[in-house]
A = this chain, B = another copy of it.
Amino acid sequence: MVFLLGSLVSLSYAALVVWVALLARPRPLAPGARRTQVVIVGGGFGGVFAGIELEKALEGRADVEVTLVSRENYFVFQPMLPEVISGTIGLTDVVSPLRRLLPRTSIHVREVESVDLERKTVWLAPGAHPHAHPVPFDHLIVAPGTVTDFRGLPGLPEHALPFKNLADALEVRSRVIHALDEADIESEDRALQRQLLTFVVAGGGFSGVEVVAELNDFVREVAKSYRRIDPRDVRVVLVHAGDRILPEVTEKLGHYAQRLLQARGVELKLNARLQSASGDRAVLSDGSVLETKTLISTIPSSPHPLVEALPVPKSRGKIQVDRSMRVEGHPGVWSLGDCALVPTASGAPCPPTAQHAVRQARTLAANLVATVDGKALTTFDFAGLGKMGALGRQNAVAEILGFNISGFLAWFIWRTIYLAKLPGWGRRAKVAASWTFDLFLPPELVQLRLGGTAGASHQRFEAGETVFRQGDLGDRIYIVLAGQAQVVREQAGKEEVLARVGPGEFFGEMALLSSAPRNASVRCLEATTVLGIPKREFGLLAANLPGLKATFEDVMRMRAGTQPAAEERN
C-alpha cells in the first residue's frame, strides 16, 4: 500500500519534471549588448538560492548575466546529510547538481583564489591547466559560508573528522565501517577492539545531535552482521560544552532529546569540551580520556579564508551588511548566508540557518535587480518559522510557530517539510522511494573508500602514547616536528632506552630501508607532533633526491653504533 501510494506520487512527480524541464529551457540572449555581470561566490543555501531568485527575477531578460563559482558541482541539502552515514538515502540524492538547479546561470566549478574588489574581478584557482582564470563582475554576491577550523585545538586538524559537506559525510561512513571491519578481525586484542568500537561526536547542537543519532542507529544495527563483535561493546559518546544538549530549543525539548538518545545507548558527556586528540584518543576539558579511533567534530565554525581576506566591514568575523543585504562602502557588493551578519527588525543578528538564508536570498535578488533598474530597495524582515532536529529512526524534536512537538509526529513533520524543501521533483521522488525501501530493508553496509592517504601527513600523540611497537611492520618514517619521544627496546622482558628524539630528528627509517619489522618501540614523553612519510612516498623521494638519500645514509651509519642492524635482531 505504501509502495502503491509512493508510486502514484512518483508518477505525478515525473510528469511535473517533464513540464518543469520544458519551462526551464534557456532563452537566446540579444547579441552584442553590454551585459551586467553578476558573480556569486559559494554553492550553499545562500549562494544557490540567490541564483534561483535571480533566475526568477530576470526571467526573459538578456541584459544581466549570472555566474556562480562553487568548489563542488552540487548543492548539499544539509539537513539530510547525516542520512549519508547510514545510506538511508542514495548517496547522490542528498545533493543536487548545480547545473540542474540553475539552468540559466554559468557554473564555474573551481576554488576561488582571490577577490579583487578594486578591479572588480574574481580570480579562480587553477583547474585543468595551471593558470589563474579571471571572472569580472559588476555585482558580487559573497556567500562562501563558514569553514570547520580545528586550529588551536591540538591534534584535531590531524585526527578529527569534520562534518560539513558530502565528502565529509562519506568519509565518516567509510571510517565507521572500516572500524567495524577491523574490530571484527582484531577480536583477540580486546583493548584495541573496544577502542575501534568507540565513536565520539563533539558538539551537542542540532548538527552534532543529528549526526550522533544517525551514527548510533547505524552502528548498533549493522554490528549485528559482524560475527566477532559483541554489540554491547559498541560505545557512542556525545560531548557537549553546555549542561544540556540542543541549546537551540526549549529546555523541555532538549531534555526529551537527551532521554531519548540515552535510551538508545548514546552516552552523554555534558559540561565538557573536546580539548585535544590523537589517532588513538580524545581528551576532554574535564580531564577524562576516551579511547577511540573515530572522532567527529561539528564544532567550531570559523570565517571562510576568502571572507577573512576581504577588506570590507566585518563584525565577529562576519561581513556586516545593511537590511538591504548591501555591504557598506562597497556599492555592487552583497553578502548573505552564514558568512554575513544581517540585522533584523529587532536589531538582533539573523541566525545562521537555511530558512533565513533562503529569505535573505529573496531580498538580495530583488534589491540587486532593483539596483540594476534604478528602482527602490526593500529590507529583509523574517522572524523564523521554527526549529527542527531529527533524532534517528522515527523520532525528532520541533518548535514550530511556538508549539513544542516531539516523537513520531515531529519526525513525520521533519520528513515532510524537508522533502518539500528538497530542490527538484525527481530528487524528491527518489528520496521518497529510498525512505520507503528503508522501512523494509536492512541498512547498507558498503564501504566506499575515498583514498587520499597517499602523501606525507601530520600525526599527533599525547604524552605516554606509542607511535609504533617493536615487532610492528615498518610502513612509514617519522620526523619529529614538536615534542620529545624515546626509543625503547625490550629484550628478555627488560626495557632499555636506546635514544631520545626531539624536533628536527627522525626515526623509524631502519625497518623501512631493510623491510624488517620494527626493532624497537617509540613512546612519547610529552605531547608530540610528527610528520609521517609513507613507505612508497619515501622510496620515491629517497631514490630521486640526492641530498635526502645521503643524509639518511649518514644517519644510518651513525646509529649503527648504538642500535644493532635490523638483520642482527632476535
Residues on A close to B: CB < 8 A? Answer: 3-4, 6-8, 10-11, 14, 17-18, 21, 26, 72-74, 87, 90-92, 95-97, 99-100, 103, 106-110, 124, 126-133, 166-167, 170, 177-179, 181-182, 184-186, 189, 192, 196, 225-228, 293, 426, 429-430, 433, 437, 440-442, 444-456, 468-469, 471-475, 479, 481, 504, 531, 533-534, 537, 540-541, 544-548, 550-552
Given A91-B92, A185-B133, A445-B73 contact (CB < 8 Å): yes
Given A130-B475, A456-B541, A547-B550, A451-B448 contact (CB < 8 Å): no
Given A7-B4, A90-B91, A92-B87, A446-B504 contact (CB < 8 Å): no
Query: Can you name 7 extra interface pairs (CB under 8 A) apart from A451-B451, A541-B541, A547-B551?
Result: A18-B440, A97-B225, A99-B445, A130-B474, A131-B469, A456-B540, A546-B551
- CB pair A451 B452 closer than 8 Å: yes
Given A455-B454, A456-B541, A531-B544, A100-B473 contact (CB < 8 Å): no
- CB pair A447 B26 closer than 8 Å: no
Q: Which of B225, B451, B471, B479 is in CB contact (< 8 Å) with A131?
A: B471
Q: Which of B228, B442, B546 is in CB contact (< 8 Å) with A504?
A: B546
Q: Give the CA-CA distance A350 to B479 in the complex, in Å.
A: 53
Residue of chain B at shortest CB distance from A195: B128
- CB pair B449 A167 closer than 8 Å: yes
**Residues of B contacting A451 with CB < 8 Å?**
167, 450-452
Specify which of A3, A179, A533 lies most central, judged by the most chain B CB atoms within 10 Å of its CB. A3
- CB pair B445 A100 closer than 8 Å: yes
**Residues of B contacting A456 with CB < 8 Å?**
455, 537, 540-541
Q: Give the CA-CA distance A133 to B110 in the complex, in Å.
A: 44
- CB pair A441 B455 closer than 8 Å: no
**Residues of B contacting A471 with CB < 8 Å?**
131
- CB pair A426 B448 closer than 8 Å: no
Q: Which of B182, B189, B551 is in CB contact (< 8 Å) with A545?
A: B551
Q: Which of B91, B130, B450 is in CB contact (< 8 Å) with A450?
A: B450
The minimal Cβ–Cβ distance linking A264 to chain B, given in whole angstroms, is 22
- CB pair B127 A182 closer than 8 Å: yes
Q: Give the CA-CA distance A541 to B455 in the complex, in Å.
A: 11
**Residues of B contacting A475 with CB < 8 Å?**
126, 130
- CB pair A108 B433 closer than 8 Å: no
- CB pair B95 A127 closer than 8 Å: no
- CB pair A192 B537 closer than 8 Å: no
**Residues of B contacting A178 with CB < 8 Å?**
109
Q: Which of B73, B179, B441, B504 is in CB contact (< 8 Å) with A426?
A: B441
The minimal Cβ–Cβ distance linking A199 to chain B, given in whole angstroms, is 14
- CB pair B128 A455 closer than 8 Å: no
Residue of chain B at shortest CB distance from A105: B227
Given A10-B3, A106-B227, A433-B433, A128-B446 contact (CB < 8 Å): no
The minimal Cβ–Cβ distance linking A121 to chain B, given in whole angstroms, is 15
- CB pair B447 A196 closer than 8 Å: no
13 sample A-B contacts, Cβ–Cβ < 8 Å, listed by A number = A3-B11, A91-B91, A92-B448, A107-B181, A108-B184, A109-B181, A127-B185, A132-B473, A429-B437, A433-B433, A451-B451, A451-B452, A481-B544
Q: Give the CA-CA distance A518 to B265 in the complex, in Å.
A: 57
**Residues of B contacting A441 with CB < 8 Å?**
14, 17, 426, 429-430
Q: Which of B100, B293, B445 is in CB contact (< 8 Å) with A128?
A: B293
**Residues of B contacting A433 with CB < 8 Å?**
433, 437
